[in-house]
Structure 1
Amino acid sequence: MKFSLVIDGILPVNISNFDLNLLRVLDALLRERNVSRAAERLSLSQPAVSNALNRLRELLGDPLLVRVGRAMQPTPRALALEAPIRAALRQIEQSLVMGEGFDPARSRQRFTIALTDYVELICMPQLLQQLAEEAPGVKIAIRHLSPSLPAAALDQGELDLVLGRFESIPKRFSSRRWMSESLRLVARRDHPHVQEAPDLSGFLRLRHLWVHGGQTKGMVDQWLGEQGLARDIVYTTPNYLQAAHIVAGTDLTVVLPARLAQHFARLLPLQVQSLPFALGPFHLDLVSVAQREDDEALQWLVERLMVIGRS
């Protein structure tokens, strides 16, 4: 019996004569865009990876990666193959792991998670403590999260999980409500104009720092704009950690998520006050690829994160 591989409408390839190990090489090359780095990722020699690339080019009838200056750029066909091949390799790996059963105490898996520095500060210390007790061999790699959901990175297997606030989540992803959060005003303890929670006019007289997180307008400024009002933002930063330290040493104020505000107030000479208007909560979601609902290892990690979100 002969089998054929059809990917995204590309002409079928007869896989009865196709070395499926070549797919691992192609995946590594598409990730690294460099033969030497792909060889290192695969624990192979550079000549072995070059030979595999030549075989792939012959079998698929396409150059796949072409040199542009010092870099290698994938051809349109290679880009079309990238996501399906990565998904297929991930499915094979998951099937093998499921057959053995997931043992956190013995696992050496590495999970890559995208989140903001805010979520990292309030979540990761607890998670790392749990991993030290239950799964000391498990590794975590963090990537910075932009305001939009990194759908392509999830689809291609570059990310295992994403934890953040998103306006919409495509139906092909699995999502869970991780935590609901509100906002608070933070100022240094001896701030001359913040001795108690300010009213709206007092809030507008303050000089503000804004943590933008890549957004063009946050919840506070959205609400103020709808009222025909604006606050005096004199400093903008993408970083929550720097924001708290700057506010602790100046007369600037900042609006932070409540959990983060309380965290910094325990470490720095800061006070936390209510806002003079009701914005309601915002929500953080835990997102993964829907096909990985049966991934025992990933779901084990998800459950630990969900417990932290509820704490």
Structure 2
Amino acid sequence: MSKEDTVDAHLLKVFCALMAEGSVTRAAVKLEQSQPAVSLALGKLREIFSDQLLVRGRDGMVPTERALAILPRAQALLADLTGLVDATAPFDASSSNHSFTIASPDYMAPVFLSEIVDQIRRKAPNASLVIRALGPDFDFEGALARGDVDVVIGNWPSPPAYLKRSILLQDDIVCLMRDSHSLAQGAFSEADYLAAAHIVPVAYSMAHRGVVETHLSSLRVSRARTVALSYFTTAPYLLLQSDLIFSTSRHFASYFAGLLPLVVRQPPIEFPQMVFQMLWHDRSHHSPMHRWLREIIMQARNRIIS
């Protein structure tokens, strides 16, 4: 029997759990197995790969270089096995204890995520939800391929063509500012807009450039990028006592204008619409569990735009 024939789903689960926990004891608890059983599986893994895989460190077990090289492929294989089972079995949301993961910047109005959380809590009370941020250092394509993330929400002008996608929202770009801002009333020219102090979002992807910056560049003009911010939901609060303005989607601006003494104004420059998309990998396209999650997200979208 060849070595590859001895690697099964059980050993892959043990390996991934050990890599995540850095402890035989914690991995055993996570897997709901005995500590000797996990130790035995680790011994088999070491024999198969001819490497210690995890060795003692100051704060627990640390992976070897060989283990780090194996991990992404092991995660992908395990995810593929899970997807194979999921694709043939119906998904019972009411009894599922699955942990769903959504990756997205925080530029969607909080009411959108609130709707998603509410639907999952009501329909899948034993499930859990992880909402993680996107950033330039986060490989969302790899995370989708490995199954570390179920769906990604973003507004890429050109998302990766091989990923599945669905448009969540197409929205106008507006200007958000305090109600006592000098541009809050009266005429509002292109020169006024470009000269104003702006809050601008920090790109959340190496390949991402925002709709506003892309369009201004095409016009060969630029605005004053006074404050660069990674936290979109913080931007409205920075407007309250400053001369800053924030160009963002209408649904986001309208939400915060309903909470704070802010006003929404139409920009003097005609920008293209922001297109918010949900992306997922082909490996999970036919999975009933993942289809259910995507339907929940689309239902939440329908509620906030209705």
Aligned residue in 2 for 1:308: 300
Asked whether the equivalents of residues 174 and 287 of structure 1 are also in contact (C-alpha less than 8 Å), the reply is yes
1:27 has 2:36 as partner: no
Residue from 228, 231, 238 that aligns with 2:223:
231
Aligned residue in 2 for 1:93: 82
SS at match of 1:175: strand
Aligned residue in 2 for 1:192: 182
Aligned residue in 2 for 1:8: none
Aligned residue in 1 for 2:47: 58
Cα deviation per residue 1:106-150 (whole Å; 9 max; x = unaligned)?
322220111111236242111222234333333211111125761
Residue from 171, 177, 186 that aligns with 1:181:
171
Residue from 89, 104, 110 that aligns with 2:93:
104
CA distance 1:256–1:64, change in 2 (3 Å): same
Task: Give the drift of 1:279.
Answer: 1.8
Two-structure CA RMSD over aligned residues (Å): 2.9
- Judge which range, 276-285 or 262-271, deviates more: 276-285
Task: Give the drift of 1:229.
Answer: 3.0
CA distance 1:223–1:186, change in 2 (3 Å): same
CA distance 1:40–1:194, change in 2 (3 Å): same
Aligned residue in 2 for 1:245: 237
- Judge which range, 81-90 or 264-273, deviates more: 81-90
Cα deviation per residue 1:241-296 (whole Å; 9 max; x = unaligned)?
21101102322211111110011011111100111112211322212221212211
> Which structure is richer in relative contact order (CA contacts within 8 A, separation 6 or more)?
2
Q: Distance in 2 between matches of 1:224 and 1:99?
A: 49
Aligned residue in 2 for 1:281: 273
1:128 has 2:117 as partner: yes
SS at match of 2:156: coil
Question: After superposition, where does 1:203-242 map in structure 2 within 5 Å?
Answer: 203-214=193-204, 218-242=210-234
Paired letter, 1:287? L
Aligned residue in 2 for 1:146: 135
- Judge which range, 172-181 or 32-41, deviates more: 32-41
- Judge which range, 88-97 or 192-201, deviates more: 88-97
Q: Distance in 1 between matches of 2:141 and 2:101?
A: 14
CA distance 1:299–1:200, change in 2 (3 Å): same
Q: Distance in 2 between matches of 1:50 and 1:58?
A: 13
Q: Distance in 1 between matches of 2:205 and 2:65?
A: 33
Asked whether the equivalents of residues 197 and 274 of structure 1 are also in contact (C-alpha less than 8 Å), the reply is no
CA distance 1:36–1:154, change in 2 (3 Å): farther
- Judge which range, 221-230 or 20-29, deviates more: 221-230
Query: TM-score, structure 1 length as denominator?
Result: 0.83
- Judge which range, 115-124 or 223-232, deviates more: 223-232
SS at match of 2:95: coil
CA distance 1:281–1:34, change in 2 (3 Å): farther
Structure 1 gap segments, 5+ residues each: 5-11
How many equivalent pairs are there?
299
CA distance 1:265–1:184, change in 2 (3 Å): same
Q: Distance in 2 between matches of 1:200 and 1:138?
A: 49
Paired letter, 1:237? L
Paired letter, 2:236? A
Q: Distance in 1 between matches of 2:187 and 2:54?
A: 60
